[in-house]
Structure 1
Amino acid sequence: MELFIMNIVKHLRKSSFRSSRKKPYYRRNHRIKTYLSTIFFASLIGTYLDLMLVGAGLYSFPRRPFSEVFTINILFTLCILPLFSLIIIFVLKRLHKLPRYLFLFICSLFVYIAEQTAEQYGLFIHSTYWKHEFSLFGYFLFLIVIWKFYSWFENGQRGGSPD
């Protein structure tokens, strides 16, 4: 019996099959840092764009939290936009190049429609100079920038090129 067990152990040692291991801590930590950096970047860009466009009088937020302090809707720029960006990053990671950009355009189309719906509920007021197509292309560009930032940050440690 002992000889039988020794043969099995010897055979397993020679095997090229590797057992699956947990990912090292630094790899998981890098992934979390990448996601947090990306959603912080999305929030920062969204906040500054809103501040510029509200300051230019192109639109306003009549119903917003802390309206006496902020001219922009901080609930959107600090919570909804980062969460939306995080979900999009999760989906984009699993898509190839052409479907990725098609998905980004569909998301932009969704925002284009959602913005007009929000305007009907009094969450937005746009100036007469505003065209909703600005939002369609603006969000498409915004999402591309967020994706490129994520790709750049993710591939920076590995030395790969962003897609």
Structure 2
Amino acid sequence: MNIVKHSKGSNLQRVQKKPFPSWINMYQRTIPAIILGSLLGTYLDLYFVGKGLYEFPTRPLSHIFSINLAFTLIALPLFTMVFLLICSKLKLLKKISLILLLSLFMAVAERAAEGLGLFAHHYSWKHQYSFIGYTAYLTVIYLFFHWSRFRI
């Protein structure tokens, strides 16, 4: 195997290496956090549906699965990806504000989903639980993303 090196006396310009596009690198770095988020969302749904705290009356493949796979395998990963891409550009205080705002939005969206018949909570459920749960979920996902980007 021959390795060709640039000669010191050569008048030819060196060919600069093209950097790997940063947007591709960014998407690759989000993949482990997206997978974790999808798995965590799936297992939390399985747990809470199993405990009877909520259910998904309208869902794909309802005769096989007790949870809404469209949400945990499509909507949640897309939501997580957009969240991480936005978060990666923000300073700490704005990240915290974004997490709290998105958690509030998701708690309100759950109520709207109940009105549409897509989601049903047990009568003892308080929507503050959803706010706290989404705050913890987004914090864990972001911390994992932040930790893993230094490991990849």
| TM-score interval, normalised by the smaller of the two chains | 0.7 to 0.9
The reply to whether residue 103 of structure 1 matches residue 98 of structure 2 is: yes
Between the aligned partners of 1:54 and 1:76, the Cα distance in structure 2 is: 14
Query: How many angstroms does 1:23 deviate by?
Result: 2.2
Q: 1:108·1:139 contact (CA, 8 Å) conserved in 2?
A: yes
Q: Deviations over 1:42-86 (max 9, x none)?
A: 100000000000000000000000000000000000000000000
Q: SS of 2:141's equivalent?
A: helix
Compute the TM-score of the two structures, normalised by the length of structure 1: 0.79
The reply to whether residue 116 of structure 1 matches residue 111 of structure 2 is: yes
Instruction: After TM superposition, list the pairs within 5 Å mapping 1:120-131 onto structure 2.
Output: 120-131=115-126
Q: Which residue matches 1:161?
A: none
The reply to whether residue 147 of structure 1 matches residue 152 of structure 2 is: no
**Which residue identity is paired with 1:97?**
L
Between the aligned partners of 2:37 and 2:69, the Cα distance in structure 1 is: 13
What count of residue pairs does the alignment treat as equivalent?
140
Q: Which residue matches 2:73?
A: 78
Compute the TM-score of the two structures, normalised by the length of structure 2: 0.84
Between the aligned partners of 2:145 and 2:80, the Cα distance in structure 1 is: 10
Query: How many angstroms does 1:100 deviate by?
Result: 0.6
Question: Greater relative contact order: 1 or 2 (C-alpha under 8 angstroms, separation 6 or more)?
Answer: 2
Q: SS of 1:89's equivalent?
A: helix
Between the aligned partners of 1:115 and 1:32, the Cα distance in structure 2 is: 28
Between the aligned partners of 2:57 and 2:20, the Cα distance in structure 1 is: 48
**Which residue identity is paired with 2:40?**
I
Which of the two has higher C-alpha Rg?
1
Query: How many angstroms does 1:22 deviate by?
Result: 3.1
Q: Flag the 1:28–1:117 CA change in 2: closer, same or farther, 3 A.
A: closer
Between the aligned partners of 1:29 and 1:94, the Cα distance in structure 2 is: 16
**Which residue identity is paired with 2:70?**
L
Structure 1: which 5+ runs fail to align?
Answer: 1-9, 14-19, 158-163
Query: How many angstroms does 1:28 deviate by?
Result: 7.2
**Which residue identity is paired with 1:90?**
L
Q: 1:31·1:154 contact (CA, 8 Å) conserved in 2?
A: no
Structure 2: which 5+ runs fail to align?
Answer: 1-10
Q: 1:39·1:85 contact (CA, 8 Å) conserved in 2?
A: yes
Q: Flag the 1:21–1:100 CA change in 2: closer, same or farther, 3 A.
A: farther
| Runs of 4+ deviating beyond 6 Å | none
Residue identity (%) = 39
